[in-house]
Structure 1
């Protein structure tokens, strides 16, 4: 890296211009930065295999954490391992992917590399430094997070042998992370409301708010500021004297808790 780190906004601008086809010389002239410095920052993003879209979406704090982590002295083996972390960070969000599987992929290519426990430690350290986010605190009985998993469950009809696909409804209480899962025929409004009601009976109570992802059954119009809740679902919530607070679009942290539950569900032996 350059001896004196420049403004993070300017760093993001460097990579955006470069991936748009602007030459390093032209970027240097346009931003008033030496060509060597421009080249060093471009090489940094290439080394971590980051796309222009990923860099654009990173917050200034996340970008600063990434540079801070990169500037610490590291062994060649650790440097090689960390080259995989941005890729692993995308893969771990997929259903069924675990740190164990990611380590096996890494270890198959580097049999002299880190063992599983060390791999998990360094991956966790990298995540803390590159994703400095505020911890979300949840109060008991405050919110019930609701979603469909997106990955269907296949069952066999005992009488006909026919394979049938079912949707998987999941909800989780924010504080206790007590999870309810139900397979149903579809994501249609009737099935969605029935599953939600079954969950309330399962929990034996009603939270202060229901927090669905932007499902068509729950939200008729998505919006970052004023989503429009389905009228039938709104009536359902009113009947149970609770509120509906849809997750905000483009705010993945809002629904992280239910997505973690989905990951656990599909990593369980019965699936």
Structure 2
């Protein structure tokens, strides 16, 4: 007998039969297999009583006629039940499969049941006390992600070393449209990069990403409120979705992606088993080809492929992707220095911030292309990243008026300042700056020369610069001494120098150069 029923079930079966239900419908209504209903119908007819008479019997009489525990001597069935005791003890062992134990059973049984009957009898003997609910997945609502347990390999061309690589799997549960990619590791950078590629593959973002409790995704796991990694949370914010980690030790929360991993072994790993790859790019190119074939396979019941279900149903429910792909962010803390810059340790460089934040503790958020400075969760500065070590990166809008003035110093700046006081001042300033290797030193000296006009006036300064230039004495101290000693006005030496005449007076007794030829 396929199964045994108690008197209450028997009366319900007879009642439904009298109401005109078929054996199949009786079985589906009462949760009984059709074979069991068929067996009892034959027993009812063989009892010699009508269905109405059987329905009128009390439970004790009915149980005697059709006992709930079979009394048939069936060695084949008893042998199976004894074998199940060993199977059930091994149930929680890693790698357990019913198929393995069924093959053992076939090897030792005289008249083995089929695999289908083997599983049916096992489920009846060890019925699950804990129920399992079938989860319904709304289109575009979630994206499940996970890594496969088994790794693929690439070969280093130079050393011949086998390098194991991780395999990332993502699946949209409504259409079961799947994405697979090989990557170097499960670290934060690789995880977020794979997620970015997956969203680009789907052409949209779901409302939530359901991840496993990976260290690169979850800082602190919890069944109720996990602490999400800061970078992963920032990635989700960029794509306008949320991260919803699965509960620990609850694989049913992401059963579809677990199944997708198993299918990846069959549809992708197995065809790759005899292929050799020397780079991730080559490996992912072949994975992409196999993945396309996998997503185009027809579901036997739905009569459509994963790709067709995604295109026709789920795609329109995904959120549009932002114009700019997400860049992985790093974080540092830094204090604003007195000169109005923060020190960025990864590049050993400096970035300016508004001068009013001097002395404040700030947070630096950086990517490969940008550096942002935050104070109290508000961005106060934004710069393009400069990877040159020791560089000072300045936004003049952030500087105080004094710093802005200082940052404008250049040769053209000082020539323009000097032109107000005369052309000779310009020539001296230009020569002072050109004489030094370090421009900032020359700038300070030039500024000192220009500032002399405050004490002596522009006309005297220009005249002093003229005499200094002609005497090749263009320095701040010499020009200052010329002015201080009034040599720019009364010196015979400089007057004769200006007129290009000899300082020796003419005399008749003095012979010229011609007398010595």
Q: TM-score range by the shorter chain?
A: 0.5 to 0.7
Correspondence list, 1:54-203, <5 A: 75-87=77-89, 89-90=91-92, 94=95, 99-110=98-109, 112-123=111-122, 129-157=128-156, 160-203=159-202
Contact kept in structure 2, 1:224 and 1:250, CA below 8 Å: no
Once the two structures are TM-superposed, the CA of residue 89 in structure 1 deviates from its matched residue by: 4.2
* Structure 1 residues 5-38: Cα deviation after superposition (integer angstroms, max 9, x where no partner): xxxxxxxxxxxxxxxxxxxxxxxxxxxxxxxxxx
Q: How far 1:154 sits from its partner (Å)?
A: 2.7
Q: Sort the Cα spacing of 1:102 and 1:267 in 2 relative to 1 into closer, same or farther, 3 A.
A: farther
1:112 Cα deviation (Å)? 3.8
CA, structure 1 residues 196+122, in 2 after alignment: closer, same or farther (shift >3 Å)? farther
Partners of 2:81 and 2:154 lie apart in 1 by: 45
Task: State the alpha-carbon separation in 2 of the partners of residues 102 and 178 from structure 1.
Answer: 33
Structure 1 residues 148-157 or 81-90, which shifts more?
81-90
Contact 1:88 1:102 in 2 (8 A): no
Q: Does 1:204 align with 2:206?
A: no
In structure 2, what is the equivalent of residue 238 of structure 1?
237
- Deviation of the 1:150 alpha carbon: 2.8
Report the Cα distance in structure 2 between the residues aligned to 1:160 and 1:72, rounded to whole angstroms: 69
Partner SS, residue 224 of structure 2: coil
Secondary structure class of the residue paired with 1:254:
helix
Distance apart, 1:225 and its partner CA: 1.6
CA deviation digits over 1:42-67, x for unaligned, max 9? xxxxxxxxxxxxxxxxxxxxxxxxxx
Larger relative CO (CA 8 A, sep 6+): 1 or 2? Answer: 1
Structure 2 CA distance for partners of 1:117 and 1:240, relative to 1, 3 Å? same
Q: Which deviates further from its counterpart, 176-185 or 231-240?
A: 176-185
CA distance 1:181–1:120, shift in 2 (3 Å): farther
Q: 1:238 to 1:248 in 2, by over 3 A?
A: same
The question of whether the paired residues in 2 share the 8 Å contact of 1:141 and 1:207 is answered with yes
- Return 5+ residue gaps in structure 1 as ranges: 1-70
**1:240 CA drift (Å):** 0.6
Partner Cα distance (2:178, 2:127) in 1: 26
Q: 5+ unaligned residues in a row in structure 2: which ranges?
A: 1-67, 274-517
If the length of structure 2 is used for normalisation, what is the TM-score?
0.35
CA distance in 1, matches of 2:90, 2:263: 18
Aligned equivalent of 1:33: none
Q: 1:194 to 1:140 in 2, by over 3 A?
A: same
Aligned-pair CA distance for 1:147: 1.3
Deviation at 1:229, TM superposition (A): 0.5
TM-score by length of 1: 0.63
Contact 1:85 1:123 in 2 (8 A): no
Change (3 A) 1:186 1:238: same
Deviations 1:74-133 (Å, cap 9, x if unpaired)?
Answer: 821331343244356435x74xx7554443244334464223343344456667645521
Q: Secondary structure at the match of 1:168?
A: strand
Measured against aligned partners, the alpha-carbon deviations of 1:207-245 in whole angstroms (never above 9, x if no partner) come to 110010100111011112211101111111111111111
Q: CA RMSD of the aligned region, Å? A: 2.9
